[in-house]
A and B are shown apart, each in its own frame.
Chain A
Amino acid sequence: MKKLMTSTTLFLSVLCSAASLAAEGDIGVAAAMDDRYCTTCHGVEGLGNIAIEAPRLAGMEAWYLKRQLENFRAGIRGKHGEDLQGNAMRPMAAKLSDESITDIVDWIGDWEYVPAEATIEGNVRQGRTAFQACAACHGANAQGNEALGAPALAGQNDWYLLTQLRNFRAGFRGSHQEDTFGSQMVTMSKTLRDDQAVINVVSYINTL
């Protein structure tokens, strides 16, 4: 009996609302979309999402974030046909206005920084040696250096660092004529002898 009652009440409430909803199509008219859609890919509060290969944004330096968004927007980054992840990000920035970028950078600045979990294991000792060449720009603790335009690497998703180093080495990132900062990294990434060396240096960065 109880069950019956529930479905009757349900049914009545339907009759009242069905007509309006069915005509409307969407429940709740979609508001004009703002540009704060980043977390769908980059995870809640920009913690990074391995399944989308979108890295952690929380804690990222405002100046670096801004430059990357501008570079994606201008097609300086993410345009190379083999840069699959960059290809996914570039259209996300293509229509951002300057005001929007400022707003987003502010917004991201509010997110809590949580260092990413390590997922890669290589030879940390060899990685440490290789990192000496990196420290000049990225800092001894991979904390970044604004004056040189080199971002922090510590705490970033290691799978993402791996893609970037591989892409710099292959010229998928950093080979656009106007990518002055990226092109420095193309040169630097070549100091890493092979893919194992890339894995090792990222494993070392994981310890910082």
Chain B
Amino acid sequence: MPLHRQGVISGIGETAYSKLSRKSVLALHLEASLAAIADAGLHPTDIDGILPYGGVGVVAEDFITNFGLRDVRLSANTPLGGASPVAAVQTALAAVASGICRHVLIPIGRNGASGGRISTRLREMPQFRAQAEFELPMGAFAPAQIYAPMARRHMELYGTTSRHFAEIAVSTRDNALLNGNAMMTTPLTVEAHQSSRLIADPFHLYDCSLESDGGAAVIVSRADCARDLRQPLIEILGVAEGHPDSPSSITQRPDLIPIGLDKAAPRAFAMAGVTHKDIDVAEIYDCFTYVVLRQLEALGFCGLGEGGPFVASGAIRLKGALPINTHGGLLSQAHLVGMNHIVELVRQLRGTAGRAQVKEARIGLVTGYGDMGDGSIAILARA
């Protein structure tokens, strides 16, 4: 069954983002989910599908218990790390289009700042088993250290520079200052980026995303079940996920440059029936600045190796040809594993993005990236 336009994002919700929530991870999930349900004009008991983010200890049963749900028809995980929330949109769309569900909740909550550090949990994750056994004893622990050789090779092959990375960090920060629910509230300059301490060369501190406490959620509804809801319809035109070759170890990848999005993006564009020229705004997963640059290439906004000059042209600024990460992203708003990117894209397409609103935004895309290069993408449009 073709999935094109069979589902919509009917509701979005988020909590305050901070370094110290003083709430449980479950409470953050529930707060964001109730906000998304109210935003859609639904009642909690309308939810009949739940796709929780794996790995934070919250399961569908928690929602059944707290919301008193009587007839949940689907619970599943999409274990793609930072690509999970957008990949869950694909799973949710398949579920509503095939008639399994009417309203699927995709929630996340975490105490990434005040709880355990995101960066040091590799060993407990099966998708990092090879990394943990063979590279962790050498001193390669954290995503910053694992992704740095990809960025270094891109720099050596194509002339990409740290100043290109700085342009991504600075423009993202500028957008965060307009948001009102962003953890970073002071401007960043290229000079401050360049002089910030090195974490894992070539990554400086300001190339790395935040650690955050908070919750966010979206609801995917079957198109014909959403017509009478509160919000303008935001249709899902295209969606896809993709996995890199040798996903369990970047070192053993045939080529360090390709990522899952290289495979997923053409499929999503084909399903959507649009090209990159039709995209008014893009929310690009930004765990590290380099990861944004490489995804811009994978999406076709510029050629392979041209990401540096593309961002240096000013294209990604709020007033540029392709405004990206209009909420401040993981780099400057909060690290909600990209659920906040979906929330922001929906706001942009509804025309409710406040001071960061892109004029006449009608079609946009959101990506996810995680677990050493898994990729996901959703292309959305105001109906």
Do A and B associate with each other? no
Listed in ascending order, the chain A residues whose CB lies under 8 Å from chain B are: none
Listed in ascending order, the chain B residues whose CB lies under 8 Å from chain A are: none
